[in-house]
Every structure is written in C-alpha cells, then in structure tokens.
C-alpha cells in the first residue's frame, strides 16, 4: 500500500469540488499511484459553509484561515482552488513552509506575482504544479505525439478558440470573476490561459502577440456578501465590470508558426467550447473539448481516394491514462482530466520531480497574458517578458 499525503485544500466551490473528486478517485483507478491522497483539511472563510462542503466532499477537518492550514505540520500538499488574488500569498507561504503546491490556473493575477511564486517553489525545493488540466486529455496527448513524431510535418497554423456564454444576461451579477482585483482579468486569464498553455504544450514558445480585449456589459448588479454566499443587494445597486468579456490576439511562435486565439464569454450557444486546429505541411489536427474523446486528423500520406479528415476515438487502453478507466469506446469526461493531473502530481511529489505544467509553465503563460494586455493598450506587437 502506497504511502499517504495529507492534502489541505483552500477553496470549496466549483474547482474545490472538481479537485476533491480527483483526490477521491485517483487511488481507486490508479492503484499504482505512488502517494495516496488523504482528504485531510478543507479551508474556507465561512465556517458553516466550509463544514457543509467538507461533509459533502469527504474532508476530515476544516480550517477558516489558510495561514493556520499552512502552519499545520500534518499537511504535506496545499491545493489552491481560490480566486486569483490569493494564489500568490498562499503559494509563497506554503512553499516557504515546505509544502508542495498545486495551484489553479492562471497561476497569478500579475506577471510579478507569478515570478515570485515560481522563485518561491524553486527556492524551497518543493513541487509546484499548475492545473492546466486539458494537457491530460488523452486526445490532446495524441495530438502532441503526432506533432512530435512529425506526422503533420512543419507546423504553419495554430487556431484556437475558447468560447462560453454564461454571463451574457445583463442581470448576471458582478461576481469575483468580473472584478480585476479578484480575478486579474476576465476571459483572457480564465479561458485564454488554457489555449495559451495548450499552444505552448503543442507548438512551443510564443515570440510576440498583438491583441485586443473588449467589455460588452460595463455595469452589473452588485451582490451583497451573505453568510455562505452572495445575495442580490437591495435595490438595483450597480457596479463596474473591470475585466474583459472577450479577448482576441494573434501570435508569432518561435518555431515560425503563426497563431490566432479567441476567448469570450459572449458566444451565445457555446457552453465550454475549447477547440484548436493545427495545420502542418503534411496534415492537420482538430480538437474540440465538447467532443473530448475524439481527435480529427488528416494526413497527406493517406491514399488520395480516402484522404480527408477522419475522427479517431481516443479511448483504447494504449492511450495515456485510458487503461485506468473502461474498455474502448466507454468514453471519459471533463472530470477525468483532473484525476489524470492529480495522479501525475502525486507521482511527481513521490519522485521529487515536478510534472508539467510547472510554475515556470504558469509564469510563461502569465507572460503571454501580460503581453496581450500591453499590446491592447499600446496597439502594437509585444514580446512576452519571460525573464
């Protein structure tokens, strides 16, 4: 039986729920995982709400102050599933306390914070991993293998969109994701970060960008903080939206490819449409998260009479992670990408190696986000400040 590691999770809403599920599932489906996670302590500011979440999600204890959580010597891994403004203080304190750190994306709200976080985990010699979970979709892993094996030749184009539509109602309230102080940015950092990370995974570094951001709805109803959540403030008090609703940018890659990126929460009818297309000299690849078990491929060396896009169902046991689940064709879902990520995190901690996406990956993604914002204001091409 593998050794265990006690996890302290800060945040218990959407991402906290997805992370809790991954910790619960990982050792059942990957029995060879080198460390078995114990859902030890769940941390949140509101004691009643976090206790209820702990009961529902299977956590043993609760804390209401992340500093107290980090001070405990019975916690080995700190998982940060909070809004972006708390990523840096929690991660830096955790690393300095010798805890491994698993942080939701994007790594930080600013490039400077991301650099401090990366330096902190490197100084402490602890594992620091960012939850860019789409790296561990088997179909994305197949895309990477096809590219790395040269199956589509020289890469010319990267074309990616990440489209949602959950805030198009003007009455949707001013939640934290719509406030720059809390979230750092809007769709750019929330959704754009994912397609930037996938671009870096599949094509390599981005040399320069030129972009724009836009906020379609500039004022929204303010919510009053209530115990355990938010409720509409009395009357129609309105507040300023201080982040982007949409972000579009072009990129030049170091490998000579060119790229287009679009992230928005105003694509009516698109629920979670994260899709990329890669065109090479010998073929093309298309991925769509809403059909995440499939990869569309086209190879020049197919016989002419059958040459065209074909759909590969990426569920055979030969594909990464798939041997843990079900027989071919019994498809997996969004939540499985978190279990894959946690499995590699735990194996990394056990072996003393940091799996990708490392905090340096997170920093490089943040540098691209920062460059898009600077490009938007300067209306010029900008090189990410990686150093």
Handedness of CA 335, 58, 79, 98 (dihedral sign): negative
SS3 state at 138: helix
Distance CA 260, CA 39 (A): 40
Give residue number: closest CB to ligand SOE. Answer: 190
Q: Name which of residues 157 to 186 contact ligand SOE (CB under 6 A).
A: 164
Which of 13/252 has CB closer to ligand SOE?
Answer: 13
Which of 44/186 has CB closer to ligand SOE?
Answer: 186
Distance CA 87, CA 81 (A): 8
Q: What are the Cα distances from residue 252, in Å, to 85, 96, 103, 173, 283?
A: 30, 37, 28, 37, 20
State which of residues 63, 190, 360, 370 lies at the interface with ligand SOE (CB under 6 A).
190
Q: What is the DSSP letter of 253?
A: E
Task: Tell me, residue by residue from 328 to 357, as one string, x for binding to ligand SOE by CB under 6 A and - for no binding.
Answer: ------------------------------
CB of 173 to ligand SOE, least distance (A): 16
**Which residues are 318's β-sheet partners?**
none
CB of 342 to ligand SOE, least distance (A): 15
Task: List the Cα angle 55/60/61 in 5-degree steps.
Answer: 95
CB of 265 to ligand SOE, least distance (A): 7
CB of 192 to ligand SOE, least distance (A): 11
79 near ligand SOE, judged by CB under 6 A: no
User: Who's near 14: CB < 8 A, 6+ residues apart?
Assistant: none
Distance CA 128, CA 102 (A): 6
**Which residues are 261's β-sheet partners?**
160, 249
Q: SS3 sequence, 171-206?
A: CCCCCHHHCHHHHCCCHHHHHHHHHHHHHHHHHCCE
Residues 92 and 120: beta-carbon distance below 8 Å: yes
State which of residues 86, 272, 279, 296 lies at the interface with ligand SOE (CB under 6 A).
272
Which of 242/272 has CB closer to ligand SOE?
Answer: 272
Q: Name which of residues 3 to 42 contact ligand SOE (CB under 6 A).
A: 14
CB of 14 to ligand SOE, least distance (A): 6
Which of 79/190 has CB closer to ligand SOE?
Answer: 190
Q: How many CB atoms lie within 10 A of CB 240?
A: 13
Distance CA 100, CA 272 (A): 30
Which of 141/164 has CB closer to ligand SOE?
Answer: 164
Which of 54/198 has CB closer to ligand SOE?
Answer: 198
Which of 167/203 has CB closer to ligand SOE?
Answer: 167
CB of 255 to ligand SOE, least distance (A): 26
CB of 204 to ligand SOE, least distance (A): 22
CB of 154 to ligand SOE, least distance (A): 31
Which of 287/299 has CB closer to ligand SOE?
Answer: 287
Distance CA 144, CA 320 (A): 12
Per CB under 6 A, residues contacting ligand SOE are 14, 164, 190-191, 272
């Amino acid at each position: 039986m593998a050794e265990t590691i006690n996890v302290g999770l800060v945040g218990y809403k959407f991402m906290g729920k997805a992370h809790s599920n991954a910790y619960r599932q990982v050792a059942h489906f990957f029995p060879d995982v080198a460390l078995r996670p114990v859902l030890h302590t769940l941390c949140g500011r509101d004691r009643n709400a976090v206790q209820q979440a702990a009961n529902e999600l299977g956590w043993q204890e609760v804390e209401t102050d992340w500093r107290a959580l980090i001070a405990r010597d019975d916690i080995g891994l700190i998982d940060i599933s909070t809004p972006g403004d708390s990523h840096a203080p929690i991660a830096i304190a955790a690393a300095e306390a010798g805890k491994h750190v698993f942080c939701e994306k994007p790594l930080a709200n600013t490039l400077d914070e991301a650099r401090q976080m990366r330096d902190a985990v490197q100084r402490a010699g602890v594992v620091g991993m960012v939850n860019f979970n789409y790296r561990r979709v088997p179909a994305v892993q197949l895309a990477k293998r096809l590219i790395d094996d040269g199956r589509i030749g020289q890469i010319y184009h990267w074309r990616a969109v990440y489209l949602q539509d959950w805030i198009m109602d003007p009455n949707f309230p001013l939640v934290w994701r719509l406030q720059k102080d809390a979230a750092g940015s809007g769709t750019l950092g929330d959704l754009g970060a994912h397609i930037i990370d996938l671009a870096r995974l599949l094509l390599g570094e981005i040399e320069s960008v030129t972009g724009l951001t836009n906020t379609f709805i500039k004022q929204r109803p303010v919510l009053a903080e209530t115990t355990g959540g938010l409720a509409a403030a009395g009357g129609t008090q309105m507040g300023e939206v201080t982040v982007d609703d949409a972000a579009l940018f072009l990129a030049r890659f170091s490998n000579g490819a060119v790229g287009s990126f679009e992230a928005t929460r105003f694509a009516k009818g698109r629920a979670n449409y994260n899709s990329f297309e890669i065109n090479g000299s010998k073929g093309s690849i298309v991925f769509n998260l809403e059909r995440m078990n499939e990869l569309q491929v086209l190879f020049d060396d197919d016989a002419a009479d059958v040459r065209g896009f074909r759909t590969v169902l990426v569920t055979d046991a030969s594909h990464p992670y798939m041997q843990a689940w079900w027989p071919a064709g019994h498809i997996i879902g969004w939540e499985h990408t978190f279990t894959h990520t946690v499995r590699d995190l735990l194996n990394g901690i056990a072996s003393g190696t940091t799996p990708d996406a490392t905090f340096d990956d997170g920093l490089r993604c943040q540098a691209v986000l920062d460059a898009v914002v600077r490009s938007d204001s300067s209306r010029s091409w900008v090189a990410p400040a990686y150093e």
